[in-house]
Structure 1
Amino acid sequence: MRLRDLPHPDPGEPDTRSGSHFVLWLFRRQLRGQTKTLFWGVLHMGSVACLPVVVGAAVQAAVESSAAGLVRAGLLLAGLGLVMAVADTMVHRSAVTNWITAATRIQQVLARRTAHLGAALTRRVAAGEVVKVSTGDVEKIGWLVESASRFSAAVIVTGGVCAGLVLHEPRLGLIVVVGIAAVMLTVFPLVPAATRRADRERARSGRAAELASDTVAGLRVLRGIGGEELFLNRYRRASDDLRVASVHTARMWSLIDALQVAVPGALLLVVVWQGHRLAASGAITPGALVTVYGAVLFLLFPLRLFQEGAMAWAFSRPAARRAVRVLSMRRGDTETGTGSPAPGHGTREPSRAPALHDPLTGLTAPGGRLTAVVHGDADGSEGPAARLGGRPVGEEDGAAHPSVEIDGRPASELPRALVRATVLVQDKEPVLLSGTLAELLDVPASGRVDADAALAAAACSDVLDSLAHTSPEAARDPLLGRITERGRSLSGGQRQRLALARSLLADPPVLVLDEPTSAVDAHTESRIGAALRDLRAGRTTVVLTSSPLLLEHADRVVLLLDGRVAAEGTHRDLWENTPRYRAVVGRDTGSGPPVRVGAPSEALHIEEKA
């Protein structure tokens, strides 16, 4: 694959059974590039390995005063030089392409998984750890993929050179083979210890990055409570631990480097000494001695590639395990930690318009309908709203209530991430963060409702006009209007309506609205009620309110008294037949004759509720 073809049209589905399986999956995805690098690597190192043979032939021709032999040796050297130049260029080009291609593939699958998990990812993995995986770990895994083909080429050529030495000059060849084996037995047993030290260094590096990320994210809070020095000391300790671990790792690799210089150096001395004896006795020619000496020098080159391959393997193994940890996560197992469905419930997800049932209160919200809930206690709507959102609410004595049921299944037995993806609760006082309106509305959504429709349903036209006056860039695009921190530049009703638009845009299967229009004037409230019913058609919607202007648009109204369902029906039926309902909704004591719905008494609710 060429670099100009990146990013990959389809990075594929990674094998996340283990770090080794993941690396093998990467190799399989780019076998063509690995084969190309292996070919050019063998050609390059093979041509380098042939140089001692040609040089030895030239020396022997000079000893024998053979002009033809010298010409042939010169032509061979020129040809080998040309092949070496081309092969070296191509092996470097293909190896770097393999590295970048593998790193890009990893980044793409990581980005896809991160986008799928959303905010649920950081509940299992620290933000600093995610950053380390997507940066340093990606490079280390790509390094292994890149070095593997060059390592394989070094093994092939080294085996060929050793076999040629044994066949060409058995006495010196056997010494070389024994020396290479000594290098392997001396160096490679140290690789596991170096790997363990590298793992410790990486763990402490991740801890330091996590502390730095958390500190930066909470810097404003830390300054508010005077905790900067505390976190600074923690980071200093983590940085010192990382420094000590890095020094220990460097010492081990320095020892491996020293052995790779000392042992081959000793081997070269032995070969030269033994070769001089054989040449002095006439057992071998001077040209053969030069050839063996040159071959031993060449073998130092693949030995360096062996060390590089060992280092790449040592550093990439923990990196691959961390990448697999993120890639193996699924929505629904980020909270439970197991990913296993509740016993007896399988893996079936709730329907697109699930029904809700609260065993504690007896409240039922049919699927795909707009249900309004009127609470007899003016301060008592928070409990039902929290429960319908899947949050457990305990008794005063500490005993937990049974959880709400979603399509007949208790929410407590479902993965919490699945419950959160199914049910969205808008609180009485929603929070608006600073930024543009486009950033405020940048929420996970089904795509069924667009921003314009959500803003229109929430009656936000005056909000857009207000933003256009305060933000010059909003004059050409209302979504570029800027919102101050917590929406302080807007009125209470405007904040409520923007929050409602955000919830409508998300278009969850179940939407629970807790007093969504308590600060909105009556005319606007009536329009919102009609638009809410139309926009949420086919979705399950629960509105906790006592406003008749919303209640008249509900398919079904439920009255809660003393924490239990006391009556249910349409707004008209309950108004005419249930005095307690009329007392709560009409703001009266319940005495006197029933008032027909639509009579002027409804003007009680038609005032500006700033």
Structure 2
Amino acid sequence: MHLRDLPHPDPGDPDVRNGFRYLVWLGRMQLRGQAASLLWGLVWMLPIGLLPIPIGMAVQAVVDKDGGRLALAGGLLLVLGVLLTLGDSMLHKAAVTNWLVAASRTQQLLARKAAELGSVLTRRVAAGEVVAVSTGDVEKIGWFVESFSRCTAALVSAVVVCVSLLFYAPELGLVVALALPLLALAPLPLLPKAARRADEQRAKAGRATELASDTVAGLRVLRGIGGEELFLSRYRSASQEVRQAAVKSARMWALIAALQRALPGLLLISVVWYGVSLARDGRISVGELVTVYGSVTFLLMPLQHFAEIAMAYSFSKPSAKRAARVLALQRSTSGTGAEPAAPGGDLVDPASGVDAPAGLLTAVVCGDPDTAGRLAERLGGHPAEAGDEESALLGGVALDELPLGRARAQVLVQDKDPVLLSGTLAELLDVPSSGKVSATAALDAAQCGDVLAALAQASADDSGDPMRTHITEKGRSLSGGQRQRLALARSLVTDPEVLVLDEPTSAVDSHTEARIAEGVKRLRAGRTTVVFTSSPLLLDRADRVVLVADGKAAAVGRHRELLHAEPEYRAVVTRETEEEQAVALRAALDKIDELEETA
């Protein structure tokens, strides 16, 4: 595969039973690339391994004053030099391609899994873990896949050179052939401990990354309550733990590197010493001694490759295990069930009893925000917890039985903390949609007039066009209310059959909130809309309201009906305490008694 063909049209169906099987699957998926790397590795390494032969021939030719053999040796050196130059350049290209192809495949699989699970992914796996898997772990996995074919070429080259030495100089060749496997295996006992230390460093780095992400995301709030120093001290402490773990890991790898240098050096000294004694006795010629010395020097390179593949495997195996764990997460079913005969139908959550009739604006009131978030996820076809077995039904068909693309087109869930990606406003609103709702209409319904004015003033090209103004990552240059309204406009542009909104106006003032309620109801007329909220302004404009208590639908009606008939509903909406409710009830009873006495 060429780099110009990336990304993969289809990254494939990975084997995620464990980390080792995932690595094997990755290697199998790019056999042509591995074969090319192996071929060019041999073209590069074998000439290097054979260079000592013409060099020894040239030395002996000088000793014997044989001009013909010297010219032959020079010709062989030229040919081998051309081959190793070609092999080196092509191996580098093949190796980089293999690394990028493997890394890209893993990243695409992770992106596909994130799109499949949505926000449920971070409920099952920590956000810092997901970030670490998609960055550092991807690099380590690509490193192993890329280095495997190079190390195979090194192994083949080392075997060829050792066998050649056995025939060329049997006594020295036997010493080298026996010592080489021992030198290659010497660092192995240290690798498990080194890998554990590296894994510990990576885990602590993941926690520090997650802490930093949370701190940056909540920086405005932290400044408001004076909590910057507290979080800064926590991050400083986490950073020190990462540093200490990195030092411990580096010490172990330094010891392994020292062994990789010292032991081959001892072999080289031993071979030279033994070879000199053989040359003095006349059992080998000077040229043969030079050839053996050069061959042993070459064998140091395969030894380095053996150490590299061992190190790469030690790093990549836990990384592949973590990636496989994320990729193994599934929707509750395969999503191959039958589709509804026609789009639409009531949206029902069997677990809670909450239902949203087709074409109406349904508001859901939950006293617990976490319960509201989990219920919103279930209504979107995302079981929020691993134990959730019942999926929401749309038109009588389970959402998790629908093909993923169909389910996403039917139901859109907007989280209470939606993310705005960096880019222009036009790019932000350029989302898959029905085409029936324009960006202008959506922005108007979401009451984004002041946001557009602010963006127009910040236009980088002085055009005054807010649609061309760049929005920073996660919209951090905007206020909370502005981000919330732009996210709502993006959801309205999509115009799904069912739109689920979780607290869409929690950061907006009451006057703007009232206009948003009217705009959403007008724009979504004839479409099914579910709003999780406790705002009286939104509740009063809903066609029906569902009160959820203890995870179950406890009452259904209009806002004003429930306000009078349901004390629990009134407590959530008006935020009255039990004592305040008791006082209000006593006052009402006293008023009734007073009216009766007057009558």
Structure 2: which amino acid aligns with 1:170? Answer: P
Distance in 1 separating the partners of 2:282 and 2:174: 19
- Which residue of structure 2 lines up, in the alignment, with residue 355 of structure 1? 346
Deviations 1:411-449 (A, max 9, x none): 9x99xx99999877999xx99999999869958987235
Q: Distance in 1 between matches of 2:354 and 2:305?
A: 70
> Which residue matches 2:479?
485
2:434 to 444, 448, 461: 448
What's the counterpart of residue 200 of structure 1?
A: 200
Give the secondary structure class of the aligned counterpart of 2:283: coil
The structural deviation recorded for 1:469 is 9.8
User: Are the structure 2 counterparts of residues 451 and 176 from structure 1 closer, same or farther at C-alpha, using a change threshold of 3 Å?
Assistant: same
Q: Distance in 2 between matches of 1:117 and 1:3?
A: 29
* 2:365 aligned residue (353, 361, 382): 382
Instruction: Report the TM-score when normalising by structure 1.
Output: 0.69
| 1:391–1:94 distance in 2 versus 1, CA, 3 Å | closer
**Which position in structure 2 is the counterpart of 1:310?**
310
* 1:243 and 2:234 aligned: no
Query: Secondary structure of the equivalent of 1:11?
Result: coil
Show the counterpart of 1:376. Answer: none
Give runs of aligned pairs for residues 42-57 of structure 1, distance below 5 A: 42-57=42-57
Deviations 1:46-92 (A, max 9, x none): 11111111122222223333221112112111221222222222212
User: In 1, are the aligned partners of 2:443 and 2:449 still within 8 Å (CA)?
Assistant: no
User: 1:156: Cα distance to partner?
Assistant: 0.3
| One-letter amino acid of the counterpart of residue 260, structure 2 | Q
Aligned residue in 1 for 2:136: 136
Per-residue CA deviations over 1:28-53 (Å, capped at 9, x if unaligned) read 23222221111111121111111111
AA in 1 matched with 2:247? V
Whole-angstrom distance in 1 between the partners of 2:29 and 2:434: 36
Q: Partner letter of residue 241 of structure 1?
A: E
Contact map agreement 2:40 2:87 (CA 8 A) in 1: yes
Structure 1 residue 204, shift from structure 2 partner: 1.5
Which residue does the alignment assign to 1:109? 109
Q: Find the counterpart in structure 2 of residue 225 from structure 1.
A: 225
Structure 2 distance, partners of 1:177, 1:261, is 18
Alignment partners' CA distance in 2, 1:162 and 1:273? 19
CA RMSD in angstroms comes to 5.2
Match of 1:328 in 2: 328
The residue type paired with residue 231 of structure 1 is F
Q: In 2, distance between residues paired with 1:148 and 1:125?
A: 30
Instruction: State whether residues 447 and 512 of structure 2, in contact with CA within 8 Å, keep that contact through their aligned partners in structure 1.
Output: no
Q: TM-score, normalised by structure 2?
A: 0.70
Alpha-carbon separation, structure 2, partners of 1:447 and 1:318? 40
* Deviation sequence 1:296-342 (CA, Å, 0-9, x none): 11111111111111221122222222222333334x4xxxxxx579x
Kindly provide the CA deviation profile for residues 259-318 of structure 1, in whole angstroms up to 9, marking residues without a partner as x: 122222222222222222222222222222222222111111111111111221122222
Between 1:44-53 and 1:2-11, the stretch displaced more is 2-11
2:281 is matched with 281
Aligned length in residues: 520
1:525-544 CA deviation, whole Å, 9 max, x = no partner?
A: 9998676444x2xx577999
Gaps of 5+ in 1: 333-338, 374-380, 393-402, 490-494, 568-579, 581-610
Judge conservation of contact 2:366–2:532 (CA < 8 Å) in 1: no
- C-alpha contact 1:51 1:80 (8 A) present in aligned 2: yes
Q: Deviations over 1:485-531 (max 9, x none)?
A: 35589xxxxx99x9986664454554579999x97999999998676
Q: 1:121 is matched with which residue?
A: 121
Which region of structure 1 is more displaced relative to structure 2, 479-488 or 304-313?
479-488
Structure-1 separation of matches of 2:104 and 2:218 = 31
The answer to whether the 8 A contact 2:451-2:482 is kept is no
Q: Gapped runs of 5+ residues in structure 2?
A: 377-389, 472-476, 548-552, 559-564, 566-599
SS in 2 for 1:261: helix
Q: Which residue of 2 aligns with 1:258?
A: 258
Written as runs of structure 1 = structure 2, the 5 A alignment for 1:27-42 is 27-42=27-42
Cα pair distance change 1:261/1:502, threshold 3 Å: closer
Q: How does 1:153-552 map to 2 (within 5 A)?
A: 153-330=153-330, 332=331, 339=332, 353-355=344-346, 366=357, 368-370=358-360, 382=365, 391=375, 406=393, 447-448=433-434, 450-452=436-438, 456=441, 460=445, 467=452, 471=456, 485=479, 487=481, 504-511=492-499, 532-534=524-526, 536=527, 539=528
Residues of 1 paired with 2:158 and 2:504: CA distance? 77
Query: What is the alpha-carbon distance in structure 1 between the residues aligned to residue 217 and residue 170 of structure 2?
Result: 68
Change (3 A) 1:404 1:25: closer
Which residue pairs with 2:575 in the alignment?
none
Q: Which residue does the alignment assign to 1:588?
A: none
Deviation, structure 1 residue 153: 0.4
CA distance in 1, matches of 2:82, 2:197: 43
Shift of 1:459: 7.1
CA distance in structure 1 between the partners assigned to 2:45 and 2:96 by the alignment:
18
Q: Measured at CA, do residues 90 and 523 of structure 1 come closer, stay the same or move farther in structure 2, by a change above 3 Å?
A: closer
For residues 130 and 9 of structure 1, the distance between their equivalents in structure 2, rounded to whole angstroms, comes to 23
Q: Is the 8 A contact 1:425 1:512 kept in 2?
A: yes
* Identity across matched positions, percent: 47
Alignment-mate amino acid for residue 38 of structure 2: L
CA distance in 2, matches of 1:37, 1:121: 36
Partner Cα distance (1:432, 1:159) in 2: 59
Q: Counterpart of 1:142 in structure 2: which amino acid?
A: G
Q: Measure how far apart 1:179 and its partner are.
A: 1.6
In the superposition, relative to structure 1, how do residues 444 and 74 fare at CA in structure 2: closer, same or farther (>3 Å)?
closer
- Deviation string 1:113-134 (CA, Å, 9 cap, x unpaired) is 3344433333333433333322
Q: 1:308 to 1:283 in 2, by over 3 A?
A: same
User: 8 Å contact 2:456–2:466 — kept in the other structure?
Assistant: no
